[in-house]
Amino acid sequence: MDNRDDLDPNDLEEEENEEEVKNKGNEKLISYASKGMYAELKKLLEKKQYKNINHEDKKKWTPIIWAACKGHTDIVRLLIQYDAHKQYVEDTLHDKRATLGVINTSIKQTPLQWASYKGFLNIVWILIKNGLNWDDIDAFGNNCVHLAASGGNLQVFQCFMMLGVEVTGKNSRGHEVLDLATNPEIIALTKSHKLALRCAATNEVFNDSIKKHWCSTCRKFFCDKYYRIEWAWENHSSSIQERMDGKCLKCWENIAHHSEQLKEKMKEYEYKGLTEKLNEIEQYSIQQQQNVLIIEIDLKLLNDAKIIQERLKTQNHIKEFISSLKIVKDYKTIRKSANRIRELREDAEKRGVQLDADVLELMQNQIDRLESERDLRYEFDNLDIGNCNPEQVQKLEKLIEIAQKNGVASNYTDEAVVMKEKMARSIRVKDIYKKFTDYPVRAEYIEPLYIDFKTKKPFDPITKKPADLKVYAAPPKKKKKKEPKFIIPDWATVLKDMNSTILEVEELLKSQEELQLEKEFVDQCNEQIVRMKRELKWRKGMEVQDQIIAEYKAAQKKKK
C-alpha cells in the first residue's frame, strides 16, 4: 500500500489535477457525443482526457447511446474505435425475455435499441456489424424489432427481417410486433413473415432452430442454409462496407451473373451494349408473383460502369462532331469548329468525365488540322500571284508543311503547292526582268565580221566584201575622251547562260494569265527580251570576230 505521506506535494497536486481533468472529460464525452461535436470528441479521445468511455449521465445514458439516439453516425464510428460498444455485445449483460406486467427499470438500454426506434439505418447497420444484438430488451420488454416497428422506418425493420428475427415475441404489456406497427408496409411484411411457414427453397419448416430470413430481392423467406448476409457499400464513395444486405442464394447468384455480364460489357467498351445492360439492371424488368426482382449490383461496380458509360457517350458525341468536319466548305467557320472541340473538352472536364488519351489526342489533332487548314486556305485565297514576294512564298511553304503534318485534306495542300509554284514562277519573271533592266545599255552596236557560209571566209559587214584583216588586226586608235568601262553582269558573262535566261523568261511569259502578270509589265518584259536578244547576237558576233582576228595574228606571227 502506497504511503502518500512520502510523496512530493507537487506530485500529489498533479495527480489530483489529472483526476479532475478526467472526471470533467467524462462529462465532455456525454456533451460532445449528444451534440455531434465530432472534432472536439476526437481530440478528447486522442489525448485520453477521460476516465470511462462508457460514463453514464443521470439518465444512465452513455456517449454511444446519445450518439445513436441523435443520429450522429460518424461519432458512433469513432466511439466504436475506442470499444464503447463492447459492453453491449455481451449476451450475459442483457435480458432477452420480458415478464408480462413487469417494468424492469434495472435493465440498461442499448444504442441499437435507440437507433432502431429513431430509424437511423446507417447506425443500425454499424452496430449490428459490430456485434450488438437485436433481441436485447428494454425496461418495457421491447426488443429492437418491437422498437423498429413502433418507430415506423421500413428499411430498419427490413434489416431485422434479414437477420431471421421473430415477430411473435411479446413485451411487458403483452404486445407483439404487429400490435406496435403503424406503417402499412411494415404491417404487410410482418403478416407475410407470420404466414411463411416453410423455406421458399428447401421447403423446411421454420421453427426455433431454423430461422426465417427475408430476402431483400425476391421478398420471400428462407432458412439459414439457403440464405446469406453480406456487407456492401452504402454508396460508391464509401470507404467501409457497412450496408447490410441479405438475400437467398438464388438471388445472390442472379446478381453475380449480371455483375459478370456487366464487367464483360465494361471490357468490351462499347456504349450501346453497356447502356442496354445498365438499363436492364436498373429497371424493374423481371416480375414474379407481383414482386419485383431488382438486380442489385455492387454500387462501386455500378458506379464504375456508369462512369464508363458517360465517357463512351461523351466520346461518341465528340467523334460524331469531328466526323462532320471532314469537309468544311467555308473556311471562315473553321475556327468556330475548332473552338467547339475545345468547348467539348472543357465540358467533359467540368462534368468530371475523364476522356481516353486517344480521344484527347484526336481532339487536339483535329484542332490543329482545322486551324492549319484555315490558315492555309485563308492565305492562298488572299494572295495576288502577280504581285507576290519571296517572303510570301516562304510563309505559304511553311503553312503547307504544317498542314501536311496535321493531316489537312490533300486537295487543299495540293492546291497550295500549285499556287506556291505559280508564285515562284511569277517572282522568277520579275527577277529576270530586273536582271535585264540592270544590264547596261550599249551606246552603239558596230557590226562585227561575219563568215560567208559558201566561202567560209570573213566578210566586212559594211562592204559585204572579203574583210581586210590587217585593218581589223591593227591596234585601236586612242580616243580623246575615255568612255566608262562596259561591265557585263555575272549572270550574263557566259553566253549560254544568258541565252538560257532569255528562253526561260519567254517560256514563263506564255503563262502570263496563269501567273496573273499585268499587261504593262509583260510589254516591258518583251521590250527587254528584244534588247537582250540583240545584245546576245552582237556578243556572239564579236566572239566570232575576235576569234578570226586572233587566228590571223597567230598566222602572221608564224610567218615571221
Q: Are residues 354 and 493 in the same domain?
A: no
Are 265 and 312 in contact, with CB atoms under 8 Å apart? no
Helix axes 63-70, 73-81, angle to 10 degrees: 160
Is the same domain home to 365 and 440? no
Which grid coordinates are listed for 186? 411494415
Is residue 49 domain-shared with residue 190, that is, in the same domain? yes
Are the C-beta atoms of residues 334 and 322 closer than 8 Å to each other?
no
CA distance 162 to 45: 35
Q: Which residues are within 8 A (CB) of 278 and not within 5 positions of it... i.e. 6 or more apart?
A: 262, 302, 305, 306, 309
Q: Single out the residue of 271, 273, 358 nearest to residue 311, CA to CA.
A: 271
pLDDT value of residue 556: 85
Domain final position from 215, 247, 279: 247
What residues make up the domain containing 511? 436-559
pLDDT confidence of residue 6: 57
Q: Looking at the domain assignment, is residue 417 inside a domain?
A: no
Q: pLDDT value at position 504? A: 96
Does 273 fall in a domain? no
Gyration radius (Cα) of the chain, Å: 52
Please report where in the chains the cell 558576233 appears, as a residue: 541
- Tell me: do 111 and 225 sit in the same domain: yes
Residues 369 and 441 grouped into a single domain: no
Is residue 428, in this structure, part of any structural domain at all? no
Question: Do 341 and 192 lie in a common domain?
Answer: no
Q: What integer pLDDT is reported at residue 491 of this predicted model?
A: 95
The CATH number for 215's domain is 1.25.40.20
Integer Cα distance of 167 and 480 in angstroms:
144
- Contact (CB, 8 A) for 213 and 227: yes
Report pLDDT for 334. 92
> What's the CA gap between 455 and 560, in Å, rounded?
27
Q: Do residues 69 and 188 both lie within one domain? A: yes
Give the HSE-up count for residue 417: Cα atoms under 13 Å, Cβ half-sphere.
11
47 and 191 part of one domain: yes
Determine whether 21 is exposed, middle or buried from the number of CB atoms within 10 Å of its CB (0-12, 13-18, 19+). Answer: middle
The C-alpha atoms of residue 138 and residue 97 are separated, in whole angstroms, by 10
How many whole angstroms separate alpha carbon 471 and alpha carbon 465? 14
Residue 139 lies in a domain: yes
Same domain, 202 and 329: no
Residue 286 lies in a domain: no
423 Cβ neighbours under 8 A, 6+ residues apart: 383, 385, 388, 392, 393, 396
- The residue type found at 548 is I
Continuous segment of H or E residues that includes residue 231 = strand 227-232
State how beta strands 450-451 and 458-459 pair. antiparallel
Give a yes or no: residue 90 inside a domain. yes
| 8 Å CB contact between 131 and 84 | no
pLDDT tens digits for the chain (560 residues)?
A: 445 455 555 554 555 577 787 889 999 999 999 999 999 999 999 999 889 999 999 999 999 999 999 999 999 999 999 999 999 997 655 667 778 888 898 888 999 999 999 999 999 999 999 999 999 999 999 999 999 999 999 999 999 999 999 999 999 999 999 999 999 999 999 999 999 999 999 999 999 899 999 999 899 999 999 999 999 999 889 999 999 999 999 999 999 999 999 999 999 999 999 999 999 888 744 443 344 556 688 999 999 999 999 999 999 999 999 999 988 888 889 999 999 999 999 999 999 999 999 999 999 999 999 999 999 999 988 999 999 999 999 999 999 999 999 999 999 999 999 999 999 999 999 999 999 999 999 988 989 998 888 888 899 988 889 988 888 888 877 666 666 788 999 999 999 999 999 999 999 999 999 999 999 999 999 999 999 999 999 999 999 999 999 988 888 888 86
Domain count, the chain: 3
Pick the last residue of a domain from 220, 247, 274.
247
Sign, CA dihedral 132-101-181-197, equals positive
Which amino acid, residue 192?
S
193 in the same domain as 99: yes
Task: Say if residues 396 and 383 touch (Cβ distance below 8 Å).
Answer: yes
**Final residue before a domain boundary, out of 353, 373, 393:** 373
Say whether both 443 and 367 belong to one domain: no
For residue 181, give the nearest of 190, 173, 172 by alpha carbon.
190
Contact indicator for 26, 55 with CB cutoff of 8 Å: yes
SS3 518: coil
- Let me know: does 528 contact 509? Beta carbons within 8 Å: no
Query: Is residue 358 included in any domain, yes or no?
Result: yes
Residue pair 30/66 in contact (Cβ under 8 Å)? The answer is yes
* Residue 301 included in any domain: no
For residue 85, the model assigns a pLDDT of: 96
Distances (CA, A) of 489 to 222, 259, 493: 110, 87, 6
